[in-house]
Chain A
Amino acid sequence: METTVSMRTIFMIWLFLSGSLLAHAKILHVGIHQQFITIQAALSSASNGDTIWVEAGNYHEKNLLINKSIYLKGFGYPVLDGEKKYEVISVKANGVTIDGFKVIHSGVSSIEDYGGIKLYDCSGVTVQNNILEDNFFGVYVLHGNHCTIRNNRVSAYSVEEQQSGNGIHCWKSDSLSIIGNTISGHRDGIYFEFVTNSIIWRNNSFKNLRYGLHFMFSQNNTYVSNIFNNNGAGVAVMYSHGVKMFNNYFIENWGDAAYGLLLKEISDSYIGGNHFEKNTTGIYMEGASRINMEKNLFKDNGWGLKIQASCMDITLSKSDFIGNTFDVGTNGSLVLNNFNGNYWDKYEGYDLNRDAIGDIPYRPVSLYSMIVEKNPPAMMLFRSFITSLMDKTEKIIPSITPENLKDEHPMMKRQLN
């Protein structure tokens, strides 16, 4: 008997509490036949914790400034039009959620960084399920903290880099989650500068004018299962440490200055399980140090990996190199890196004791790739008799190619599928 009484008490308390909460959090309806016709009007009579429901339709709100912690929910993708003059939504309060809008035509300026949705100095903001089209910057996070950008479709149609901002641009922020967004046609798909401790997960960034992903001075971020394909110059990451990249796809980044992944001054990082397919250069490394790369697939690239002599303590293991024109390129003879246990489809060695490890080391740098590095027009002799003859001689007696750049334990079979 006693238990039922206490259960009832708890239930009563719960009812009382939830009732009081409901009494505080209003839902304000916006639409042509609703209480409020503009979002701005609803916003001025809202208080923190309220929800604003917006019906489908076109809203010309000029610059919509959100300075209260509200939940802004759109039904049927109500269109917010910046008329090519204004920043569409500016968020200056914590705990705001913007969900289900179509944000189009933000202003373009060379002085102001107008965003489709721009967050100023706030924390706990969520931007989700929105469509952002033809904006200067898509989602712009300035001094954000614990913000989530999730499941948005961001696209733009600029042809010139100067006339275009970045899809998701984050500056001086911490602990962001960028999840499941699709970004195309911007200058950089995702841009980070001074962003720390963030996760970038399952995004798809393609056909951007410059980089699919671009970050600088952004420490301790993790990139998981993103797809970067067909971007003007691939992906470039610079001046950061503690970068972790898992299971990303870097595909079809073609061009003279395009890289699947460009690493410049990156240290203490881990790159594992990624796919580099059909890029001019799979990974280009310059000044990188203490990087562990394993289980990556390099397939059908021009250069699988270009590792400049300025890199040190790079470990490359358990990776597969298949169908690349050149597996590894370098520019000097100094090698402070470790290649071990990779599969190379150009390996011509044997395995007498049948332990699946080749008995003679493999030298992934060919003489011809060194020649092309020094003298690009020599590309004209690609696959000619003389270059293969030179490569064969060089393989037996290395004189120009770095003697220490070799895989001591090359695998006989592919390890990844």
Chain B
Amino acid sequence: MKKIIKYVMTDILRNRIVLIYTVFLFITSLSMFSLEDNVNKGLLSLLNIILIIVPLVSIIFSTIYVYNSAEFIELLVSQPLRRKSIWLSLFTGLASSLALAFLVGTGIPVLIYQANNIGFMMIAMGILLSIIFVAIAMLAAVKMRDKAKGIGAAILLWLYFTLLFDGLVLFLLFQFADYPLEKPMVGVTALNPVDLGRILILLQMDVSAMMGYTGAVFKDFFGTYTGVMVSFVAMFMWILFPLWSSTRKFNRKDL
């Protein structure tokens, strides 16, 4: 298993895309902190990167990588190796290299300029989102045999998590405006890792933002130790469930 992980990682490094991604993250994060006179504004722009760019790169890169390694996977399957360990090594290789790219690219500037709770929460969420979207990408890739269809599905999934889900929530909020929706909303956020990450970061960052009763309800839940634990567990579920599902599918798949 170790050998496969090592092979996947060196392959990704040789690919250079992840290196470019790291450099891109590094330069943008650094410039966001140094260009804005207001540190908070820099953090906000960084928040957008974490919530939009990181999932996008993770999901697209992973999907394409899995499709492109189809032959390599077939080769591995023909060896006396368990399919589960092949699939998990592939996941570990992808997830760790993308998480590492984020840690180096954004983590270092954040630690230089904002080494506090906000910074640590941002780094943690960025890493978790990278891994989650690798897991989701692998599920999409294993479900679709056709490459174009698979990549399309990955883009749609990204669109869903970053945009459509929130639109749906907004729609529901207006449909059920007469009901007290604050508490159910806490549960609804757990259905989208991007929202979960955003709220966890915002609660560290911007007290003024989460105002009013909704803010109070969110703060009561996410602001406590249990709340943070529960949301981290929810984030890990977002890794484990797609991964478990895709592993099962891969085990039975006729390659």
Contacts and interface: CB of A to CB of B under 8 A. Distances in A.
A378 B195 CA distance: 13
Main secondary structure of the interface of B (DSSP, over half): helix
Contacts of B173: 375, 377-378
B221 to A, nearest CB: 12
Interface stretch (A23-31, A310-318, A379-387): A379-387
A278 interface: yes
B108 to A, nearest CB: 24
Nearest to B201: A383
Interface stretch (B86-94, B140-148, B207-215): B207-215
Contact of B38 (A254, A323, A375): A323
Nearest to B211: A302
Contacts of B41: 345
A376 B210 CA distance: 10
Interface in B174-221: 174, 177, 181-182, 185, 188-189, 195, 198-199, 202, 206-216, 218
Interface in A209-268: 254, 256
A387 B177 CA distance: 18
Contact of B185 (A377, A383, A384, A385): A377
A275 to B, nearest CB: 15
A197 B92 CA distance: 75
A150 B56 CA distance: 64
A380 B211 contact: no
Interface string A387-413: 111000000000000000000000000
A389 B48 CA distance: 12
Contact of B208 (A322, A325, A375, A389): A325
A388 to B, nearest CB: 8
A256 B216 contact: yes
Nearest to A388: B48
B212 A376 contact: yes
Nearest to A374: B177
Nearest to A371: B170
A389 B169 contact: no
A302 B209 CA distance: 6
A385 B189 contact: no
B206 to A, nearest CB: 7
B52 A376 contact: no
B107 to A, nearest CB: 21
A387 B198 CA distance: 13
B166 A384 contact: yes
B167 A386 contact: yes
B166 A381 contact: yes
Contacts of A301: 208
A379 B198 contact: no
A365 B45 CA distance: 21
B198 A384 contact: yes
Contacts of A380: 169, 185, 188-189, 195, 199, 214, 218
A366 interface: no
A301 B199 CA distance: 19
A50 interface: no
A188 interface: no
A99 interface: no
Given A323-B38, A375-B177, A383-B198, A280 B163 contact: no
B77 interface: no
- Interface size, A (range): 20 to 34
Contact of B212 (A256, A345, A388): A256
- Interface size, B (range): 35 or more
B204 to A, nearest CB: 13
A274 to B, nearest CB: 18
A140 B48 CA distance: 55
Contacts of B216: 256
B69 interface: no
A405 B198 CA distance: 31
A301 B216 CA distance: 16
Contact of B170 (A256, A323, A376, A378): A378
Nearest to B38: A323
Contacts of A303: 211
A300 interface: yes
A118 B13 CA distance: 81
Given A345-B38, A375-B174, A377-B185, A382 B210 contact: yes
Contacts of A345: 38, 41
Interface string A312-350: 000000000011110000000000000000000100000
B51 A385 contact: yes
A385 B49 CA distance: 11
Contacts of B114: none
Nearest to B215: A379
Given A323-B38, A385-B51, A386-B170, A379 B210 contact: yes
B209 A386 contact: no
Interface of A: 254, 256, 278, 280, 300-303, 322-325, 345, 371, 374-389
Given A256-B211, A377-B185, A379-B209, 6 more contacts: A378-B170, A379-B215, A381-B170, A383-B44, A383-B198, A384-B195
28 contacts: A256-B212, A302-B208, A302-B209, A302-B211, A323-B38, A323-B40, A324-B208, A325-B206, A375-B173, A375-B177, A376-B213, A377-B181, A377-B185, A378-B214, A379-B209, A379-B218, A381-B170, A382-B202, A382-B210, A383-B198, A383-B209, A384-B51, A384-B166, A384-B198, A385-B52, A385-B162, A386-B166, A386-B170
